[in-house]
Amino acid sequence: MSGLSLDPEQLDRYSRHIIMDEVGPEGQQRLLDSRILCLGAGGLGSPVIQYLAAAGVGTIGIADDDVVERSNLQRQVVHGESDIGRPKVDSAADFVAEQNPDVAVERHETRVTSENVEDLVAEYDVVVDGSDNFSTRYLVNDACTLAGVPFSHGAILKFEGQVTTFEAREESPCYRCIFPEAPPAGSVPSCAEAGVLGVLPGTVGCIQATEAVKLAMGYGETLDGRLVLYDAADMTFDTAEIRKNPNCPVCGENPDIGSVHDVEYTDTCAIGD
């Protein structure tokens, strides 16, 4: 932490944070000093970026290699009509600049791969996974778990969302503790194939942003050890207890995965694929 240095405008901007004993000027300073990486600036990434920027997270990394398409605008609320065709990292960065001048955006206009994920993750305190495919999700899980970087996991399809937080502590489970392997290609459709309710990523992304803010502030309990299954169709939230799997291939007692280079992140993302 760089010491308390809130100026009068910041004391005003963040007054509703600072007035809370649970946050105070120290908690706000921690947010301003924090570095959070958002993987994806799409449906989930949009509300995450909005709320992290509004909260005064000092540095937000945004990794996305897509450009804005018209079909994104039904749910990806940091992008607008005039952004169609622009890189999402640029559109999202412009949104943040307008929302909060305290926030620096680091643009990573690249696809996250096993070649760059370790360097990328190492630069940040917290990672928020809002990616849109299984390969990236398993890659992010393995990289963050091996590096000990806490990350928020959110995923959506049609009317349903799954969200949890993996703190990457000794006793924390990881994504592979729940799902050791990805489904075979084609068995679980993508949002492009099956559709998604436009407001759904707003709800799930806001939970992810909440978790990231708490981790950055060092306050509260996260979803570590709990997976929330959200159904927008009947507005139910089911919570499943999840535990570390002793046989987990990445965080178990005798892991097979010691590096992201041990796995081909294609198809089921299993060892030897």
Partner 1 sequence: MDVDLRFFATFREAVGQKNITRAFDDGLTIGDLLAALESEFDGLEGELLDDTGDIRPQLSVLKNGREVLHIDGTATELDDGDTVSVFPPVAGG
Residue 178 beta carbon to partner 1: minimum distance, rounded to whole angstroms: 5
255 binds partner 1 (CB under 8 A): no
Phi and psi of 151, rounded to 5°? Answer: -145, 150
Beta strands in 40-180 (DSSP E): 59-63, 104-108, 126-129, 151-157, 160-166
* Stretch in the footprint of partner 1 (CB under 8 A) among 21-29, 95-103, 117-125, 173-181: 173-181
Going 236 to 43 to 78 to 9, the CA torsion angle's sign is positive
Which of 165, 180, 217, 260: binder of partner 1 (CB under 8 A)?
Answer: 180
Question: What is the helix, strand, coil percentage profile of the chain, to 5?
Answer: 35, 20, 45
Q: Contact between 132 and partner 1 (CB under 8 A)?
A: yes
Asked if 264 is part of the footprint of partner 1 (rule: CB under 8 A), the reply reads no
φ and ψ of 146, to 5 deg: -65, -35
Which residues does the annotation mark as catalytic?
Answer: 191
Q: Using CB under 8 A, which of 5, 113, 133, 259 touches partner 1? A: 133
The 111-130 contact track toward partner 1, x by CB under 8 A, reads ------------------xx
Q: By CB under 8 A, is residue 179 in contact with partner 1?
A: yes
Q: What are the tokens at 18?
A: 């600072």
**CA dist., res. 21 & res. 229, Å (int):** 31
147 binds partner 1 per the rule CB under 8 A: no
Residue 78 corresponds to which tokens in the numbers above? 């940091």
Residue 191 found at the interface with partner 1 (CB under 8 A): yes
Using CB atoms within 10 Å of the CB of residue 37, give its burial: 0 to 12 exposed, 13 to 18 middle, 19+ buried: buried
**Shortest Cβ distance from residue 172 to partner 1 (Å)?**
14
Judged by the rule CB under 8 A, the positions of this chain that interact with partner 1 are: 40, 42-45, 129-134, 137, 154-158, 160, 162, 175, 178-184, 187-191, 196, 201, 229, 231, 234, 238-243, 245, 268, 270
